Amino acid sequence: MYDVIVVGARISGAATAMLLAREGHRVLLIDRAKMPGGKGAATNLVHPPGILRLKRWGLLDELTESGGPPPIHSYGLQTGPVRLMARLPAVEDEVAEAYSPERRRLDEVMQRAAVKAGAELREETALRELTTDGAGRVSGVRVQGPDGSQFTEHARLVVGADGSNSTVARLVGSEKYGARPVLNKSHWAYWADVPHDGRVRTYRHNRRHAFTWPTHDGLTILGLALPVADFAAAPDEERDRTVLGAFREIDPEFAARVSPEGRVGRWMTGAVPNFLRHPAGPGWALVGDAGYTRDPITAAGITDALRGAELLARGVAEGLAGDDRALDRRVAEYGGRRDALVRGHFEYTCDHALIADYGREEQEFVRAMAKSPAHGSGMVGMFATIVPPAEFYSPANIHALLDHVDRDTGWKLRFVRWLARGAPRRLPPATRLADRLIAANLGSMGDFLLGAAAPGAGRAA
Ligand SMILES: Cc1cc2nc3c(=O)[nH]c(=O)nc-3n(C[C@H](O)[C@H](O)[C@H](O)COP(=O)(O)OP(=O)(O)OC[C@H]3O[C@@H](n4cnc5c(N)ncnc54)[C@H](O)[C@@H]3O)c2cc1C
């Protein structure tokens, strides 16, 4: 009998197992794959909240030692001629850097830490069924081992950390909510000999989202996401032309650093749907992509997996001290906390994933953010899961941003600025009208400004 069985031994599963084992709990960690597994479908960026966890858990040095990724201190967005590049805000005054470690190495480091903490890892062991007690509470797993034989193990809690197509979620019938289909598809590849300067660059131009950042072993990731209807699978040489062509069009200065012959390995393709799943029930919980899958355009899956594992492990550790009802209660609370943590960023990601071009007024807003260090840092902090969208798009923050909009901008923004900042204070309807006019240009992000957005407003590390 284990305290916890974790199904899936990559980021979210290994982190959950490690944290619980470090607390002295008996943990079985299984994965159907031979570990540490392949490269994984990821562009590897880990935002500061994820890096903070890795640092506190004593794993960061191992990931960043020789051949590891360099620190990234600034993120940028270019839309048409408007460029914003800003430093990342610090998380808990402690970590203001992102890294893009090799995915296989990250999995390996996490798994080793889980085993060192006392978790029992069984590879090539696939979940087939869940067992339940007389009251229908999940009580264990029926799995198939490497030699094809099946066996059963019991635990007080079964955690599904088994990715977006989670078997645990299917077997317990966990429903999805907030679901959106695949909104774009991307090409990405590794590139050698691109001089890096510690920055993530993203571009929005002609319904294309280009991105690049330095990763491990001196390599750089280059990619391009397109709306699904515009995406075409193509031979590697054609993808070189498509992606490098997009970079040349929007940022010739950066494109000049990239040798057309510099690609290392093949192009890869990514396409991910968006949904949350109810993450907890009697005797079970979901963590990582199993409970929450989002478009990779904001590169937040690993960071969310690490934060989610921490939240879950904290609740489970407290719950294991009591009876099964107490444990289920703690795990249910984890579900609410997870949603409060990620829901705002989920909406932001879905909005971003549409790859809609910025209108003139939106471009003026980005230009204003580039002039105001606090707003610039807030904007990239929002992308990096540090600043909640409800905080960034709060009326006070957006009204303050209007002070940085060019004086000689078009009449629409001048009017909005007057409504929000210049109209007599005894005319609150003027401010509300200003917010409605601004919100009309912000897509679903406008809901945050109007106070009508989904839950998840609280700032969390
Ligand atoms: C194209 C693309 C780019 C991305 N880029 C980034 C990025 O830059 N930054 C970022 O943070 N995130 C990125 N992500 C997302 C990130 O890869 C995921 O969020 C992350 O891998 C989730 O980790 P996980 O541990 O929850 O699940 P997974 O990594 O999916 O691991 C699930 C594990 O469960 C195991 N498993 C599944 N079913 C069973 C079963 N029945 N029995 C036993 N084991 C099972 C699998 O073998 C696997 O090892 C990207 C994703 C894609 C697709």
Count Cβ atoms within 10 A of the Cβ of residue 232 and give its class: 0-12 exposed, 13-18 middle, 19 or more buried: exposed
The pLDDT-based confidence of 40 (bands split at 50, 70, 90) is: low
Q: Report whether pLDDT(445) > 90.
A: no
Tokens of 393: 């798009």
Q: Ligand 1 within 6 A of 15 CB?
A: no
Tell me the per-residue pLDDT of 89-106, one tens digit each, with 9 for 90 and over.
Answer: 999 999 999 999 999 999
Q: What rounded mean pLDDT belongs to the chain? A: 93
Tell me the per-residue pLDDT of 105-134, one tens digit each, with 9 for 90 and over.
Answer: 999 999 999 999 999 999 999 999 999 999
Q: Ligand 1 within 6 A of 107 CB?
A: no
Q: Identify the CA nearest to 159 among candidates 68, 18, 290.
A: 290
User: How confident is the model over 51-78, as a mean pLDDT?
Assistant: 95
Nearest-CA residue for ligand 1 atom 12 is 301
98 beta partners: 72
From 10, 226, 385, give the residue whose CB has the most ligand 1 atoms within 8 Å, as the site to mutate: 10
Nearest-CA residue for ligand 1 atom 50 is 42
- How far, in Å, from the CA of 107 to the mean position of ligand 1? 10
The pLDDT-based confidence of 432 (bands split at 50, 70, 90) is: confident
Give the pLDDT of residue 413: 84
Question: Which of the pair, 74 or 436, is modelled with greater confidence?
Answer: 74
Q: Report whether pLDDT(460) > 80.
A: no
Question: Whole-angstrom Cα distance, residue 273 to residue 388?
Answer: 22
Nearest-CA residue for ligand 1 atom 44 is 31
User: How confident is the model over 200-223, as a mean pLDDT?
Assistant: 96
Ramachandran assignment for 58, one of left (phi > 0), alpha (psi -120 to 50 degrees), beta (any other): left
| Per-domain residue ranges of the chain | 2-44+102-180+274-349, 184-270, 360-449
Q: Report whether pLDDT(461) > 60.
A: no
Q: Ligand 1 within 6 A of 312 CB?
A: no
Nearest-CA residue for ligand 1 atom 29 is 10
- How far, in Å, from the CA of 168 to the mean position of ligand 1? 15
Count Cβ atoms within 10 A of the Cβ of residue 55 and give its class: 0-12 exposed, 13-18 middle, 19 or more buried: middle
Give the pLDDT of residue 4: 98
The pLDDT-based confidence of 453 (bands split at 50, 70, 90) is: low
Q: CATH classification of 184-270 is 3.30.9.40, yes or no?
A: yes
Give the pLDDT of residue 426: 66
Q: Report whether pLDDT(38) > 70.
A: no
User: How confident is the model over 384-390, as a mean pLDDT?
Assistant: 97
Give the pLDDT of residue 455: 44
Q: Ligand 1 within 6 A of 30 CB?
A: yes
Least confident of 130-134, 280-284, 342-346, 437-441: 437-441
Give the pLDDT of residue 417: 85
From 5, 31, 45, 274, give the residue whose CB has the most ligand 1 atoms within 8 Å, as the site to mutate: 31
Question: Whole-angstrom Cα distance, residue 378 to residue 383?
Answer: 9
Q: Report whether pLDDT(424) > 80.
A: no
Tell me the per-residue pLDDT of 273-303, one tens digit each, with 9 for 90 and over.
Answer: 999 999 999 999 999 999 999 999 999 999 9
Q: Report whether pLDDT(454) > 70.
A: no
Q: Report whether pLDDT(359) > 60.
A: yes
**Is the alpha carbon torsion for 20, 23, 25, 28 positive or negative?**
positive
User: How confident is the model over 344-367, as a mean pLDDT?
Assistant: 93
Give the pLDDT of residue 421: 82
Nearest-CA residue for ligand 1 atom 4 is 42
From 5, 32, 222, give the residue whose CB has the most ligand 1 atoms within 8 Å, as the site to mutate: 32
Is residue 342 within a helix (H) or strand (E), and if so which, with residue range?
helix 324-353
User: How confident is the model over 196-223, as a mean pLDDT?
Assistant: 96
The conformation of residue 57, written as its DSSP 8-state character, comes to T
Give the pLDDT of residue 459: 47
CATH of domain 2-44+102-180+274-349: 3.50.50.60
85 beta partners: 76
